[in-house]
Chains A and B, each alone.
Chain A
Amino acid sequence: MEPLLQCIGLSKRFGPKFALANVNLNIFPGRITGLLGPNGSGKTTLIKIANGLLTPDAGRLTIQGLNPSPETKAIISYLPERTYLAPWMKVADIINYFADFYADFDVNRAYEMLQNLNINPDDRLKTMSKGTREKVQLILVMSRRAKLYILDEPIAGVDPAARDYILNTVIKNYDRDAAILLSTHLITDVEDILDDIVFIRYGQIIEADTADNIRAREGKTIDQYFREVFRC
C-alpha cells in the first residue's frame, strides 16, 4: 500500500537547533496515527511542513507523492493548535467560507454537528468561550471529506465531556480510506482510538509501530510507556 504521507530524511533547523533531524515516516490510509512527544519535540514543525506553512531544509515530505502545494492542501483537513478563525465572523459565515474554498466541505454535516453541540450558527466567535471556539474549529475540520486529517492538539482546550464527543466525532466522520494524524500529549484520552504510534523527541522519531504491537511488547498502556520513555 502506498503511504498517504511520506517523510524521507526530513530536516528543519531554527538557527543552530534542529527541530526535525532526518525524519523518515509513513502514514497509511485508513489508519489513525498518534504523533506523541513532549513539548518542543518537533510535532508541530512536522505538521506545519505537511501543511505548507514551513519549508524543510533537507529531505522531502510528500502527500500522495506530491510536495505540499494547493493540490495537497485540497485533500488535507488541518486543525492547528490555535484559534485561526476571525472573531468577528458568525459561525454560519465561517461555514460559507469553508464551503466556498473547499470542494469537499459537507455543509449538512457541519450544521448537524453544531446542533448536537448546541452551538447557534448565528453566534459570533468573539461571544464564545475558548472551548466552544475549539469545538467549532473541530466541526469545520471534520466536516470536510478529506484524505488526510491533521489534528494538532485537538482536545487540549476542552472539557472532558466535550473530549469524548470530539473523539467520537473524529472516529465517526472520517472516511475509511482517509488517514488521521493526531498530535497530543493527553494520551489517555486518545489511546483507544489510535492504530499507530509515533514517538518523537528532539526532532527524531524514536519509535514508530502499531499501538497493539507496543502494548503486547511492553505489557503496558501507551500512556504508561510514554511516561517511561519521556521521563524527565
Chain B
Amino acid sequence: MLGKILKYEFKSTYKIITPLILAVLVLSLILRFQLTAMDSINFNERAIGYQAGLGLSIFFYIMLIFATSIVTFIVLVTRFYKTMFGDEGYLTLTLPCQPDLLMNGKALAFFIWNLAISATCILSFFIIGFSKEVLGFIADMFDGLRSFIYEDLGVAPVIFYTIIILICLISIIMGIYKIIMCLAIGQLSNSHKVGFAVLAFLGTNFAVGIIDMILSLVFQLGNIGSIYSISMVIDDYSTALFRTLIFTLIKYIVYTVVMYFISHYIINKKLNLE
C-alpha cells in the first residue's frame, strides 16, 4: 500500500519538480563552461562580454536554486493539504488504508524530494567547482576535521559524522511533521483553515523557541552560544560541543515525536473536512 501511495505522490509532483532539478543541473554545466572559458581569456576589454554573461548566469543560478526550493516546498505542502484536508481528502481518507499510512507515505515523499533537492545542490556545486584543487582542498579540510574529532573530541570520526548526518535528517523530518501538524491544526477551524495553519506554524515556532531558551538556561546546552559558558565552568570546550550535538539530536527527535503524535491524533480523531 505504501508503494501505491508513493507512486501517486510522485506522479502528481514530478512534472513540476523534475524540470526545475534538471534546469539547475543544466545551468550548472553552463556556468562551468563559462568559468572554464574565463580562465583561458586574459583580462582585457574582450573579456567584458564574458564577465557580463557569467554574472548573468550566476544571477539566474542563484534565483533558480531559490525558486527550486520554494516551488518544491509550495507544491508539496499544497499537495498534502488538498489531498488530506481539501475536497480530495474525501477520496484519500476513504481509501482502505490507515490514515497514519497515508500521512507517513506523504511525509516520505516530501522527505525524498527534500533529499533530491539537497543532492541536486551538492551535485551542482561539484559540477561548477570540480577541479583537482577543490578536491585537494576538501581532502585537506576533512583531514583537519578528522584530527580535530580524534584529538579534541575524543570520538571516532564515524560516530561524529553519523550524529551530524542524523541531525540533518531528523531536522528535515521534524520540519515535515511540523508542517503536517500545523495543517492539521488549521483544518480544525471551520473557516480560514489555511490562515489558521499559518498561525499554528508561527505559534509552533514561537513555542519551540521558548522551550529551546528554557532548556538552554536549565542545561546550558541548548545552543552553540552556551558552549562558551560551559567551557568556562568545566573547561572542556570539546566535550561541550559533543554534548551539544547529542543534546540537539535528542531534542529534535523529541520534537519530531511530539509533532507526529499531535498530527496522528488530529487526523485519526479530529478530522474536520469541509
Contact = CB atoms under 8 A, between A and B. Distances in A.
Interface of A: 48, 51-55, 70-71, 73-74, 76, 78, 80, 82-86, 88, 97, 100-102
B88 A54 contact: no
A73 B4 contact: no
Interface of A is mostly: loop
A55 B96 contact: no
12 contacts: A48-B273, A51-B94, A52-B93, A52-B94, A53-B93, A55-B268, A76-B94, A78-B90, A84-B90, A100-B4, A101-B95, A101-B96
9 pairs of A and B residues whose beta carbons are closest in the complex: A74-B96, A84-B90, A84-B91, A80-B90, A73-B96, A70-B96, A51-B94, A101-B95, A100-B4
Given A53-B273, A100-B4, A85 B96 contact: no
B269 interface: yes
B147 interface: no
Nearest to A72: B96
Among A74, A85, A88, A101, residue most surrounded by chain B Cβ atoms (within 10 Å) = A101
The bracket for how many chain B residues form the interface is: 20 to 34
Contacts of B121: none
Contacts of A84: 87-91
A102 B96 contact: yes
A86 B90 contact: no
A83 B98 contact: no
B56 interface: no
Contacts of B108: none
Nearest to B12: A86
A71 B8 CA distance: 22
Contacts of A48: 273
